Amino acid sequence: MTVDLDLVDRELVKRVIEEGGNDVIRCFQCGSCTADCPSAGVRPYNVRRIVRASILGVDELSKDSKDIWDCTTCYICQERCPQDAKPTDVIVALRRIYAREHGLLPGTRKACANVWASGHTLDLDEDVLNRRERLGLPRLPPTTLTHPEAQEELRRLIAKRRAQRFFEDAGNGHVVKQAAEAKEAASKGAVGKEARK
Ligand code: SF4
Ligand code: SF4
């Protein structure tokens, strides 16, 4: 790694530690984390290099870098690290720092918007919904989609973590439509119950 001293952020490692990457400086660059990382197998992603960059304060993790978002947070590297440097915690700490400073990538923003709207990160497409019906299951799963009170609780938790601004930016995804559908079905159910009383 070539280090341009003009671009070194001497505070970066302190901020990583403050944000939860407490053991980052234990890393001795063995590379076990990268060797077992599933993301490294499909992308030019290198967790060892990111940990090193954090310690050195190298701002190769600029706002345009997608690297820290390629981690699936599977925690394999964290389990394998012989130094207990907790590389996954380092990645999560960096995400906190860069999300605050530069915002989220569009894909992550959409997933957050879906969580805010419906509790799900991904769309349940028509094919899945139809298959559920064919299997005799309710069209919508018994998740936040059919439990609006759980969705409210989830939003309260997000707000409590002061992360609301990352989630509220609601997209117009299919999953948002599903949430509206579920809300309508729930209110019809409530009306039906009232009528049966
Ligand atoms: S984080 Fe752990 S596994 Fe990865 S290079 Fe450093 S010491 Fe090795
Ligand atoms: S937690 Fe992230 S960096 Fe670690 S092995 Fe999994 S995908 Fe790779």
Type of residue numbered 182: A
Task: Name the domain boundary from 102, 125, 152.
Answer: 102
Ligand 2 atom at minimum distance from 70 CA = 7
Q: Give pTM, 2 decimals.
A: 0.72
What are 148-185's pLDDT values in tens digits? 899 999 999 988 877 777 776 544 444 455 555 655 66
Per the CB < 8 A criterion, the answer to whether 145 and 196 are in contact is no
The reply to whether ligand 2 has any atom less than 6 angstroms from the CB of 37 is yes
Task: Please tell me the distance between residue 141's alpha carbon and the centre of ligand 2 in angstroms.
Answer: 30
For residues 37 and 111, state if they share a domain.
no
Quickly state the pLDDT bin for 50 (edges 50, 70, 90).
Answer: very high
Q: How many whole angstroms separate alpha carbon 124 and alpha carbon 127?
A: 8
Q: What is the pLDDT of residue 30?
A: 97
Q: What is the pLDDT of residue 181?
A: 63
119 located within any domain: yes
Residues 6+ apart with CB under 8 A from 144: 118, 119, 120, 150, 151, 154, 179
| Phi and psi, residue 8, nearest 5° | -75, 130
| Phi and psi, residue 121, nearest 5° | -80, -30
Task: Name the domain boundary from 102, 126, 160.
Answer: 102
Q: What is the pLDDT of residue 76?
A: 97
Helix %, strand %, coil % of the chain (to 5) = 60, 0, 40
CA 129-130-134 angle, 5° bins = 120
Of 4 and 51, more confident: 51
Structure tokens at 191: 């009306």
The reply to whether ligand 2 has any atom less than 6 angstroms from the CB of 58 is no
The reply to whether ligand 2 has any atom less than 6 angstroms from the CB of 85 is no
Domain of residue 67: give its range. 7-102
For residues 17 and 97, state if they share a domain.
yes
For residues 32 and 83, state if they share a domain.
yes
The number of C-alpha atoms within 13 Å of 170 and in the hemisphere containing its C-beta is 15
Ligand 2 pocket mutation, candidates 24, 27, 36, 39, criterion most atoms within 8 A of CB: 39
For residues 32 and 76, state if they share a domain.
yes
Task: Please tell me the distance between residue 42's alpha carbon and the centre of ligand 1 in angstroms.
Answer: 20
2 located within any domain: no
The reply to whether ligand 2 has any atom less than 6 angstroms from the CB of 72 is yes
